[in-house]
Structures are given as C-alpha cells and as structure tokens.
Amino acid sequence: MSVRYGAAVLAAVGVTAAGHVALAHHSVAGEFDTHKRVTLNGVVSQVDWANPHIYIHVDVKDASGAMSTWRLETVPVAMMRKAGLSKALLLGDGQTATIDAYPARDGTPHLGYLVKITYADGHHYQFDADK
C-alpha cells in the first residue's frame, strides 16, 4: 500500500513538541477546539476517502432517540495508508463505536475532528493524544 504523496503531502501533517498533530492544510486548532472533547456513540455510515483530509460520517442517536450524523475530519490519505488503515477498516463492519472528537470552533453542529474511535469489539484507532 503506497504511502507516497509526491512532495506534496506537504508536510501534510506536522507534530508539535507536545506530540500533537497539526494538519496539512491548516492547523487542527484553527478549525477545532482542542481543549474540548465530545464523546459520541454511533455507527460509521460513510467514509470520504479523499485528500487533503479523510472524513468519516457517524450516525448517532441522542438521549431522546433522535438521529444525527456527525462529520469527523481526520488525517490525509497517505498517513492513513502508512498506518495500514483503509476505508473498510474505518467502517468497522457496521459495529457500534465510541468516538472522542474535538468540536468545531465555529459552532457548526455535528462537525468535529476524530481523536479516537473504539469499536464494539474493543479495537481502536487513535489520531491524537488521549486526555
């Protein structure tokens, strides 16, 4: 599986001294509130396998039973491939998943940055430091 990107993935991702990920494109903190976390329980219903950032869509049912779909940004394709992860693996066979995410700073509802996703069978993928 190729992880190359031409020179381009540009330093698609940069890591700060604290070990945090800063995206290609723009810093994570420029779009998402890295001081806050939201926890979601739902099912990954769609993966947009695209650059400069992959997005996963998560169908979430709230306490009242209402359904909403969160759109969560994550790393670029080259980085996901380097980790050996694929669209199918992110979909997780339709398992329920628990997700930590940074919410959008501009207040856009149901938009966030994927920090960690843990599937019902216990395995997880992590994209930024745990709390």
Partner 1 sequence: MNLHRHRVLFGGLLGMTVLGIACAVSAGAQAPERTASAAAAPAGTAPVPRLSDGHPDLNGTWDNGAGIDFIRPEHLANGSVCVAGCGAPPGPPAGTKAGAPPAGGRPMRNFPKYRPEWLQKVADLNTRQLELDPVLHCRSPGLPRIGPPDKIVQRSGEIVFLYDDVSGGFFRIVPTDGRPHRMDVDPSTLGDSIGHWEGDTLVVEANQFNDESWLTDNGAFHSDALTVTERIQRVGDTLRWEAVANDPKVLAEPWHATSRVAKRTDVDLVEPAPCVDKDLSHVVDGTHHDNPR
| Residue number, 68 or 126, with CB nearest to partner 1 | 126
DSSP label at 2?
-
Question: CA angle 42-47-51, nearest 5°?
Answer: 135
Q: How far is the CB of 60 from partner 1 (least distance, A)?
A: 19
Of the candidate spans 38-46, 58-66, 106-114, the one that interacts with partner 1 by CB under 8 A turns out to be: 106-114
Q: How far is the CB of 115 from partner 1 (least distance, A)?
A: 8
The dihedral of CA 16, 87, 126, 2: what is its sign? Answer: negative
Question: CA angle 82-39-125, nearest 5°?
Answer: 20
Q: How far is the CB of 92 from partner 1 (least distance, A)?
A: 10
Q: How far apart are CA 44 and CA 97, in angstroms?
A: 8
Residues that bind partner 1 (CB under 8 A): 1-31, 34-35, 48-53, 55, 73, 75-80, 82-85, 104-106, 108, 111, 115, 121-131
